[in-house]
Structure 1
Amino acid sequence: MTRLTRMLLGATVALGTITGAAWAQDATLKLHQMLPPQATIPAKALRPWAEKVMKESGGRIKIDQFDAMALGGKPPELIDQAKDGVVDIVWTVIGYTPGRFPSTEAFELPFMMTTGEATSRAVQEYCEKHCMDEFKDWKVIAWHAHGPGLIHSKNPVNKLEDMKGLKVRGGSRMINQMLEKLGATPVGMPVPAVTEALSKGVIDATTIPWEVTPSLKVAELVKNHTGFSGKNGLYTQTFVVAMNKASYDKLPDDLKKVIDDNSGIETAAFFGKVMDDGDKVGLAIAEKLGNNIVTLDEAETQRWKDAAAPLVEAWEAEMTAKGKDGKALVSEARALVDKYSTGM
C-alpha cells in the first residue's frame, strides 16, 4: 500500500468517524396527537413549539408532527405510545386514562379553574411537586389546562333542572362524575368523537371549551351554549405534552438543553394562552351564527356549585385513601389558581 493510499484511507476513516458522530447527535422526533391539523392546539401551539425547538437546535432536531391519530391507535393510547417508544412525543388529555394520574384531577374539580393560561401555570407548579411519581415513565414537557368549560346543547340549558336526563359527553372521570351530580347522564368519549355523536343523536350536549368547537363544527350542530358567572369556570381538563424517556436520554446534552428550555411553566402557560385565544375564535363563530349564548347569573351559578360540591369532598376522601392528603391537594390547587389569576 502506497503512502498516498494510506493517507487517503486514513482521511476517509476519519471523515466517516466525524460524520458518524455528527449524525449521532441529530434526532428526528415523531409528535403524535388526536385533533385535526387546523384545530387550535396542533396549529397554534404544537407546531410553533416544534418550530422553536428545531430552530434553537440549529436544525439538529427535526420534529415531524402527525395529527388526527395518523400513526394509528385511539386517543387514550397516546400516553402509552410515548411511554413505549412507538412515538417520541405526544399531546393528550390526561383524563383519557381514568385513575392513572389521580393527582392531576384536583384541577378538574368543579369551579376550580379560571383562565387557561393562569390555570396552566398552576397545574405546572402543582404537578412538578405532586405528580412526578405518576409520570416517572415519561419526560414531561408541560402540563396544562384549557379555558372555562361550557355546556353546548341542542336544547337550551337555562337552569340546573334543564340538565336532568340530558345525555352529555364528558371527557374525563371527574367531569362525568360532575355531570351525574348535576342530573345529567354522562357519556364518556374522546373529543374527536363529539361531531359524529352529536349528529347521530348519541348525545344531546357536550362539555368542551369554545376553542375546540370550530374544528368539531359544534356551533353548527347545536344552537345553545351555557356558561357561568364569576371568575371560575365550571370545569377544565388537564393535558400533558410528554416525551419518551429514551428519546430524550439519548440526546446529547446540548440538545437536551433545547428540550429543557422549551419545557416547564412558560411552555405550559403558552399552551394555556393559545387555548384562551382559541376561545375567542369559537365564541365569535357561534355569535355570527346567531346561536343562543347563555351566561347563568350568580344565583343560578351558585346552585350548580352547591350541586357539584359533594364531588370535591368525595375526591378528597378518595385521595386520602390512596395515601395522599386530598384536602391539602385541593387547597393547594385553589391557592395556586388564585396566585396566577391575581389581577384578572
Structure 2
Amino acid sequence: MLRKLAFGLAATAVMSSAQAQEVVLKVAHFLPPMSNMHAGFIVPWCDKIEAESKGRMKCQIYPAMQLGGTPPQLLSQVRDGVADIVWTISGYTPGRFPISEVFELPFVTTTHEATARAVWDFIDENAASEFEGLKRIANWVVGPYVIHLRDKELKTLEDFRGMKIRAPSRLGNRMLTVLGATPVGMPVPQIAESLSRGVIDAAIVPWEVVPATKTHELTKYHAEVSGGYSLTTATSIYAMNQKKYDSLPADLKKIIDDNSGRETSALAATAFRKGDEGGRAAASNRGNQINQIPPEEVERWKKAVQPVTDEWIADVTSKGYDGRKLYDRATELVKQYSKN
C-alpha cells in the first residue's frame, strides 16, 4: 500500500513538473520586425498564448531570417525542428502546394477576411495532406497584389509588354507571361535592391509590405485593379512542427488549438488589411500616383489570363485530382464568405 502511494505521489510530482515547465517556441519569418505581419499578428498571437498559459508557453521570435537560411527554406526549418513555428508564403516552394495554390490564380480572391475563411475551409476539405508533418495554425492570403512601378505608368494591357516585373509565385510568373511582361522571381526582401538597381521595372506585392521594403520610396506609380477581385495574391502559412505540438501537455495543446483555425486565419488577414491601408497611405503621402484600372480594362486582363486558370485545372487533373471541381469549390467558398 505504501509502495503504491509513493509511486502515485512520484507520478503526480513528475506530471506537475512537466506541466509547470516553461515551453519556449522559436517563431521564425522573413520580414523585419517593423513589418505589419510581425507587429500586427505574430507578436499579439504570441502574447495571447503566453497570457492564456499563465506564462508557461512563450515565443522567441526570429524575424528577418535570424535563424539563418533564405525564405524558401522556412518550411524545411519548421519540418526539421530548426524553428518550432514559421510564417511563410507557399509560393516560395513551388510544387509543394499544388492544390491550395488555387487561391493564387488570377481573379479568384476578394476581401482579406472572407478569403482567409475560404482558404482555411478549402484546405481542411481538400488539401490537408499538403501539410503533413505540420500543425496548421492559420492559412490565409495576403492582400490583393498591386503593381508598383519605378518610373512608368501601367494603365492598359499593352503597357505590360517589355516590362520586367517581380513575380510572387509560379502562377504569378505564368500570369505575367501571358500579360506580355517578363517575370522575375524573387523573395520580398530582394525587391528594394532590385528596384534601385533597375533589375526590375516593377514589383507585384501587397500594399502591406511596401513600408517595410521601402517600395514606395523606390517607385512613382502604382496600379490597382477594380471590381472587387484580386489580380493575384499569395497563400500564407503559419504552422508548427507537428512533433513539437505533440510533445506539449494537453492543456498547452488546447491553447494552441484555441488559437488556430478559421477565425485565427481571419485575424491574420485583418492584420494584413490594416497593413495594406497603411502601405497605401505611405505611397499616397509621398505623392506617388495610384491608378485604378477601370472595369472595362480589367475585363481585357481577365480574358488574357484565362489560360493560366485553364492550365492549372488541366495540370491538377493530370495528377489524379478533379481540377475543375477544386477550382469551383475554391471560388464557391470565396463567394460564400464574401456575402457574410
* TM range, smaller chain: over 0.9
Conserved 8 A contact 1:25-1:252: no
2:234 aligns with: 237
Which of 211, 215, 238 in structure 2 is aligned with 1:218? 215
What is the CA deviation profile of residues 144-197 of structure 1, one whole-angstrom value per residue up to 9, with x for unaligned ones? 111211111121001111111111011210111111111110000111111111
What SS is found at the alignment partner of 1:134? helix
Q: What is the distance in 2 between the residues matched to 1:273 and 1:328? A: 29
Size of the aligned set, in residue pairs, is 332
Query: What is the rounded CA distance, in whole Å, between the counterparts of 1:310 and 1:15 in structure 2?
Result: 63
Matched, 1:264 2:265: no
Partner of 1:153: 149
After superposition, residues 60-99 of structure 1 pair within 5 angstroms as 60-99=56-95
Report the residue type matching 2:145 in the other structure. G
What's the counterpart of residue 55 of structure 1? 51
Aligned with residue 285 of structure 1, among 272, 282, 285:
282
Aligned counterpart, 2:31: 35
Which of 254, 276, 284 is equivalent to 2:251?
254
- SS at 1:317 equivalent: helix
Which of these residues, 194, 197, 217, is aligned with residue 197 of structure 1?
Answer: 194
Per-residue deviation, 1:201:
1.0
RMSD of equivalent CA atoms? 1.7
1:58 deviates by: 1.2
**1:162 equivalent among 159, 165, 173:** 159
* Mapping for residues 290-329 of structure 1, pairs under 5 Å: 290-329=287-326
Measure the CA separation in 2 of the matches of 1:256 and 1:96: 29
Q: Which runs of 5+ in 1 are unaligned?
A: 1-9
Provide TM-score, normalisation by structure 1: 0.93
Deviations 1:248-290 (A, max 9, x none): 0000011000000000001100011111111111111111111
CA distance in structure 1 between the aligned counterparts of 2:100 and 2:57, rounded to whole angstroms: 30
Query: Are 1:112 and 2:108 counterparts?
Result: yes
Gaps of 5+ in 2: 1-5
Q: Render the CA deviation track for 1:34-84: whole Å, top value 9, x for unaligned.
A: 000000101101110111011111111011111000110100000010001
Asked if 1:140 corresponds to 2:110, the answer is no
Q: In the TM superposition, what are the counterparts of 1:113-128 in structure 2 within 5 Å?
A: 113-128=109-124
Q: Secondary structure at the match of 1:203?
A: coil
Taking the aligned partners of 1:35 and 1:116, their CA distance within structure 2 comes to 20
Distance 1:168 1:255 in 2: 45
Secondary structure of the structure 2 residue equivalent to 1:240:
strand
Question: In 1, distance between residues paired with 2:122 and 2:272?
Answer: 20
Counterpart contact for 2:20–2:56, Cα < 8 Å: no
Matched AA of 2:70: K
Residue identity (%): 48
Q: Letter of the aligned partner of 1:36 in structure 2?
A: P
Q: Give how far 1:24 is off.
A: 6.7
In the other structure, the counterpart of 2:334 is: 337
Runs of 4+ off more than 6 Å: 13-16
Matched to 2:40, the amino acid is K
C-alpha distance in structure 1 between counterparts of 2:272 and 2:206, whole Å = 9
CA deviation after TM superposition for structure 1 residue 26, in Å: 3.0
Task: Give the corresponding residue for 2:3.
Answer: none
TM-score between both structures, scaled by the size of structure 2: 0.94
What letter corresponds to residue 39 of structure 1 in structure 2? S
